[in-house]
């Protein structure tokens, strides 16, 4: 069964407003477990159905969307970020705080969306693939955007390797090489994405 969000999953504006504080608090805690910094300027937030549902609700709220057709348009845009079993999905952020840093780093990091891999204890390396629908809109030859949407596809053997831990998240870009072990709480979260 697909994990994709349906129209019935989206609360109307008034209902969401009543629950927003609690939902937001829950998602902040969830994202804390799913956020992994890699080096000084890159971090990834691993997405799941709950994080994407929150994002859709926030977009509907911010844009005051009330028609079913407009909500369905948001679902078409965001559903590809929800990983299916055997997959992981993440939003990669290049976290820069001023214009000078942006002008320095963004041209240097072109191609970073294809340079992220998960290194498994058994020696396997699972490389990121940009989310196809977003790649066409975001990728440029001379400069990279500060946000990328990534996906990893795992074989059943790689899922078992992942479960055995440890797992390292690495960026292997000519201008940016950093690696970090995934915290145990992140491994637990991501394993549920891979298996459920």
Letter string b/e over residues 132-153, b meaning 16 or more CB atoms within 10 A of that residue's CB: eebeeebbeeeebbbebbbbbe
Tokens linked to 59:
């977009």
Amino acid 143: pLDDT: 84
How is the chain split into domains, by residue range? 7-195
Amino acid 117: pLDDT: 97
**8-22 pLDDT, tens per residue?**
999 999 999 999 999
d(CA 154, CA 137): 26
Residue bearing tokens 């809109």: 137
d(CA 186, CA 107): 31
d(CA 56, CA 79): 9
Total-model pTM: 0.90
d(CA 22, CA 34): 19
d(CA 121, CA 166): 6
Give percent of the chain above pLDDT 90: 79
What do you get for the CA distance between the two ends of the chain, in Å? 10
**62-113 pLDDT, tens per residue?**
999 889 999 999 999 999 999 999 999 999 999 988 889 888 899 999 999 9
Range 27-39 average pLDDT: 96
Range 131-142 average pLDDT: 67
Q: Label residue 139 by pLDDT band (50, 70, 90).
A: low
d(CA 141, CA 99): 20
């Amino acid at each position: 069964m697909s994990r994709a969000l349906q129209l019935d999953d989206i609360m109307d504006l008034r209902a969401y407003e009543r629950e927003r504080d609690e939902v937001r608090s829950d998602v902040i805690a969830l994202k804390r477990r799913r956020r992994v910094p890699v080096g000084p300027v890159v971090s990834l937030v691993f997405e799941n159905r709950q994080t994407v549902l929150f994002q859709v609700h926030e977009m509907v709220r911010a844009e005051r969307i009330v028609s079913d057709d407009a909500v369905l348009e948001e679902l078409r845009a965001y559903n590809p970020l929800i990983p299916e079993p055997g997959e992981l999905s993440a939003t990669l952020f290049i976290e820069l705080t001023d214009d000078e840093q942006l002008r320095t780093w963004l041209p240097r990091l072109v191609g970073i969306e294809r340079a992220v891999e998960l290194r498994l204890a058994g020696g396997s390396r699972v490389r990121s693939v940009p989310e196809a629908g977003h790649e066409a809109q975001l990728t440029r030859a001379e400069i990279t955007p500060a946000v990328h949407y990534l996906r990893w596809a795992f074989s059943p053997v790689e899922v078992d390797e992942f479960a055995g831990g440890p797992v390292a998240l690495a960026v292997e870009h000519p201008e940016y090489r950093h690696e970090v072990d995934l915290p145990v709480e992140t491994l637990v979260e991501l394993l549920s994405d891979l298996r459920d």
